[in-house]
Amino acid sequence: MGIPVKMPPFKTVFVTGGAGYIGSHTVLELVEAGYEVIAVDNFTNCVCGTEGQAASLKRVEEITGKKITFYQCDLLDKPRLAEIFKKHKIDCVIHFAAMKAVGESMILPLLYYKNNLIGTINLLEVMKENNCLQLLFSSSCTIYGNPDHLPINEKHSIGNVTNVYGRTKYIIEEMLVDLSKAEPEWNIISLRYFNPVGAHHSGRMGEDPTKAFTNIMPYIGSVAIGRKPYLTVFGDDYNTPDGTGVRDYIHVMDLASGHVAAMAKLAASHLKIKAYNLGTGRGVTVLELVRTFEKVTKTKVPVQMLPRREGDIESMFADATLACEELGWTAERSLETMCEDYWRWQIANPNGYRETDTADVAAKLAAIKESHGECSCQSTVNGVH
């Protein structure tokens, strides 16, 4: 018998890492779904705008017409975090904030353990002090390590992780399991993301890396726009259709909508703790992604092949059946749409969120529409049901 808990509807959501790539797109979905959002970020992974404001969240305000409450705050600064909680009645927390570059984590392990683990402990302690026990945790498919079977469902073993970043996510998940056992009044969902790419269809929001360690789509975009000479691909001798690694690329807006679906689940049920995969269920090789990008954008992306990197995984893609059945969520956007939306963002914002001339941006978006037409890729991915 579980603890009989009547779950109130959520009104105010506290979002850590809210100015980052996934965080900002999720904030937009939350606002459009009717939630009030309190967002914090320390600008480690995102652009700081004028007067300490979050550049990405200013775009959210522009798109939605709604004001976002934002604080610059590092989760390692527990007194500052506690001060913010005292100012607001917070119903639920979505915890994105983390250092997240796999390569960097292998070079700076102590920094990753300190930031990701201690920051999370501080957050949980402040939540408990304020009787806010509803949490969506931003986890990762990296916790599965080298998969025993494909596609990967939530019953797959976890913990055999190949990098420090993934180990921080695994340790936090284990910590949350222990917390839910000791204090069963907690209600937690862990969302295990696969590989987010793409941008908001408006072209006003997207991924703006602040470090050399970056995800694949901004790298492809940098090559296509002429900022880099070629895309480096590590490994062309895997047992895959074209020899390159296979991943499950998911549109960032599908990922964002997954959080809104998970919020509804938290409000309706007392789960104690439960994990869900958020992916498309379709494996795509690196070269397939590149060729699709070239086709959609009418650009060329030269590729330089290098040997495999130690710790890289050959193939990884999701079985997202559980999210479909229990959250009512399925990834809807195609690989073509992922590429198309990212390119719209890239062309209109060559300097990312550092672009300030809105008239210039509007002109660039109009030029894209004229040369490529309205978005023509309406097909959806084949999600697992």
By C-alpha distance, which of 348, 280, 345 is closest to 317? 280
Asked, as a colleague might, if the bond just before 307 is cis with ω within 30 of 0, I would say no
Secondary structure (DSSP) of 23-76? HHHHHHHHHHTT-EEEEEE-SSSS-B-GGG-BHHHHHHHHHH----EEEE--TT
Of these residues, 21, 35, 144, 165, which one is catalytic? 165
Tell the burial category of 353 from Cβ atoms under 10 Å away from its Cβ (0-12, 13-18, 19+): buried
Residue 127 CA to its chain's centroid (Å)? 22
By C-alpha distance, which of 344, 331, 330, 337 is closest to 378? 337
CA–CA gap between residue 230 and residue 300 (Å, rounded) = 10
71 is known as an active-site residue: no
CA–CA gap between residue 49 and residue 181 (Å, rounded) = 42
CA–CA gap between residue 167 and residue 202 (Å, rounded) = 35
- By annotation, the residues acting in catalysis are 165
